[in-house]
Amino acid sequence: MELFYEIEGNGVPIVMIHSGGVDSRVWRYMVPGLAKSFKIITFDGRGTGRSPAMQEPTSLVEDLRKLLEHLGLDLVTLVGHSIGGQVATDFTLSYPSMVERLVVIAPSLTGFAYSQEFTNYMTSVNAVAPDITRLVELSLAAPIYRATMASHHRSFLTEMHNHYMTRVFTEWRSFEVLWPEAPSIERLEKVAASTLFIQGTIEWPDMYNIAEHFKRVPAIRFAEIKGADHMLVLTHAEKLANSIRQFCHR
């Protein structure tokens, strides 16, 4: 198995898929509590943390399938944050028999048309490449990181972001991610797994529009964490872990 992964705890397996710009260390405040009741699998997505760099167009969904195959897991709960939520949703639609429960935390969504505000932000960040310092500075200046950057998690998030950006611009040979042909936005009614959607109250308007689309999932519950921004996995780890624990014990 090429991807770096860690396992903690015993019980029903929960696989956690991190967001972009960070690596599996982002789950460090959630894993200890969850591992008391479940087997928690965290891993560094391709090109992040201790996993190999992107060398060619890559399917993150198939990377996840190969990891589960390597671990001998045929039925899991998936927890995905941001683009990790996008991966988790696409995987659930591609391999429905392998996912018992789906938890998406402020997820992105395949096929969603992002607003001009968001695309302008991304364009402004990318314009300073390959200046890593400026990339990290502009990226984390977005309003969706306001609460996290005002907290004691600021230095940790900045360090992960810096590590990620450095790898992207020194090691990656491909930037193309392959997704299943039919976008998830067109197939949300087909999500068979029991689903929990969680997000904070400090987000891009786009994220609330994505939440509206997820209302088409047949068996879905929604939870909102007041005062949380996009990195609620750091700032509100205990609340998130409790929500996931309660959801999985239903």
Please give the chain's pLDDT, 250 residues, in tens. Answer: 899 999 999 999 999 999 999 999 999 999 999 999 999 999 999 999 999 998 889 999 999 999 999 999 999 999 999 999 999 999 999 999 999 999 999 999 999 999 999 999 999 999 998 899 999 999 999 999 999 999 999 999 999 999 999 999 999 888 888 899 899 999 999 999 999 999 999 999 999 999 999 999 999 999 999 999 999 999 999 999 999 999 998 7
Q: What are phi and psi of 46, to 5 degrees?
A: -55, 130
Distance (Å, rounded) from C-alpha 55 to C-alpha 122? 23
What pLDDT does residue 1 have?
82
pLDDT at 38: 98
Which pLDDT value is given to residue 172? 84
Count CB atoms within 10 A of the CB of residue 70. Answer: 12
- What's the whole-model pTM score? 0.96
Pairwise CA distance, residues 88 & 90, whole Å: 6
Quickly tell me which residue has 């088409």 as its tokens.
Answer: 216
Show me where the domains of the chain are located: 5-113+174-248
pLDDT score of 151: 98
- Cβ neighbours of residue 155 closer than 8 Å, sequence gap 6 or more: none
Predicted pLDDT of residue 119: 94
Count of CB atoms within 10 A of residue 147's CB?
21
pLDDT digits (tens, 9 = 90+) for 108-154: 999 999 999 999 999 999 999 889 999 999 999 999 999 999 999 99
Give pLDDT, residue 250.
Answer: 76
Superfamily of segment(s) 5-113+174-248:
Alpha/Beta hydrolase fold, catalytic domain (3.40.50.1820)
Instruction: Identify the pLDDT of residue 218.
Output: 98
